[in-house]
Amino acid sequence: MKAAVVHDFTEPLRVEDVPKPEPGPGEVVVKIEASGLCHTDIHAAHGDWPVKPKLPLIPGHEGVGIVESVGSGVTEVEEGERVAVPWLGYACGACEYCASGWETLCEKQLNTGYAVDGSYAEYAKGFAKFVGRVPEGVSPLEAAPLTCAGVTTYKAVKVSGTRPSDLVAVFGIGGLGHLAMQYARVAGAAVVAVDIFDEKLDLARQLGAEYTVNAREQDPVEEIKKLGGADAVIATAVSPRAFEQGFNALKRGGTIVFVALPADNYVQLPIFETVLNGINVVGSIVGTRLDLQEVFELHAAGRTRVIHQERQLDAVNDAFEEVEEGKVDARLVFNFGVEEPSGQAEGVLTQEAGGPSEQPTGTVKEERGPIPG
């Protein structure tokens, strides 16, 4: 089968022929229809993080497709069902974290497209207990980004404790951020979207953001303070500086949720202001199987929009570059042969689809360039 493979952290991926996986006990093999490109895949391919992935590695943890075969003992899914193979590929089910609803913290977990091969391939293996069922009517091309970007930000908004009267600042309107702001709005909050590209902020307004700030032109801390400060910040921008700005934009008693995982691993936060202002700093890693099911249900009910552009797996290295340079609307999805129903627009929304948007704070048009830092 065809797969995109990382052999070395300093080399581009190679698209090559590799053996098709066989399902072991409790496993399924999925014929991939669509696989989203999460920024995590770029970190994995570059070996950006303190814990390195296996090599060689087939990345991809937003894989959606049809169960082609099942291994012995599988009772959870059947051949022919459409499933999603998420980052949380496996958890033990028995430890204190698994038993208390925090399977995402399980120390025995296996991460898809990192510790085990993922879905940048025509076929991928998953553990039957941990694949998500994709509901009828949800296109694989939309289910794919929901499988990580969706579940991660849905969980982040949940742990932020967002309430209807809140102002939520979402830093970074990429794959994750464009969904984070929608979940904050589903929770009833008003949203201020922060990015460094005007095109991302245009999209945020089409998706209903009440306010936008271009952090290259305006100081997001000042702008958000003018609005009274943020009750919650969802930090999805791949930049420690954005985390610090998010922290400083919080209201007293506010919560910042750390979500992005920049290669540069440290932020500087002041102790005095954290204590005196009663600030909560929370880390949030993907979401549980239940969170994923809720994300799919919300989407099937028409409550969220997944903005995506299709690419072919052969162009994986160009696609990585586009994401790193901030050139994509929200999410790139490798299409393995799905035909989108006619009338379903990809990319930036039309005005009607986005609904009404209020007057944003001023932003000046500028040319796109590489993301600094």
43 binds ligand NAD, rule: CB under 6 A: yes
* Rounded distance between C-alpha atoms, residue 87 and residue 89, angstroms: 5
Q: Which of 286, 295, 306, 319 binds ligand NAD (CB under 6 A)?
A: 286
45 binds Zn ion, rule: CB under 5 A: no
CB of 39 vs Zn ion, minimal distance in Å: 7
114 binds ligand NAD, rule: CB under 6 A: no
Nearer to ligand NAD, 253 or 370 (CB): 370
Select the residue whose beta carbon is closest to ligand NAD and give its number.
Answer: 174
> What are the beta bridge partners of residue 219?
none
CB of 200 vs ligand NAD, minimal distance in Å: 5
Tokens, residue 192:
């201020």
Nearer to Zn ion, 40 or 236 (CB): 40
Cis peptide leading into residue 262 (ω within 30°): no
What residue 98 binds from Zn ion, ligand NAD, none (CB within 5 to 8 A, per partner kind)? Zn ion
Within positions 245 to 264, which residues make up the interface with ligand NAD, using CB under 6 A?
259-262
* Rounded distance between C-alpha atoms, residue 201 and residue 192, angstroms: 10
Q: Which of 21, 26, 39, 168 binds ligand NAD (CB under 6 A)?
A: 39
Within positions 166 to 195, which residues make up the interface with ligand NAD, using CB under 6 A?
171-177, 194-195
> What is the Rg, in whole angstroms, of the alpha carbon atoms belonging to the chain?
20
The answer to whether 207 and 305 are in contact (CB under 8 A) is yes
CB of 310 vs Zn ion, minimal distance in Å: 18
Amino acid at 86: P
* Rounded distance between C-alpha atoms, residue 301 and residue 55, angstroms: 40
Tokens, residue 138:
């949800």
Burial of 241 (0-12, 13-18, 19+ CB in 10 A): middle
Q: Which of 44, 148, 193, 319 binds Zn ion (CB under 5 A)?
A: 148
332 binds Zn ion, rule: CB under 5 A: no
* Rounded distance between C-alpha atoms, residue 73 and residue 16, angstroms: 32
196 binds ligand NAD, rule: CB under 6 A: yes
Burial of 286 (0-12, 13-18, 19+ CB in 10 A): buried
Contact footprint for ligand NAD (CB under 6 A): 38-40, 43, 148-149, 152, 171-177, 194-197, 200, 215, 236-239, 241-242, 259-262, 284-286, 323, 326, 371
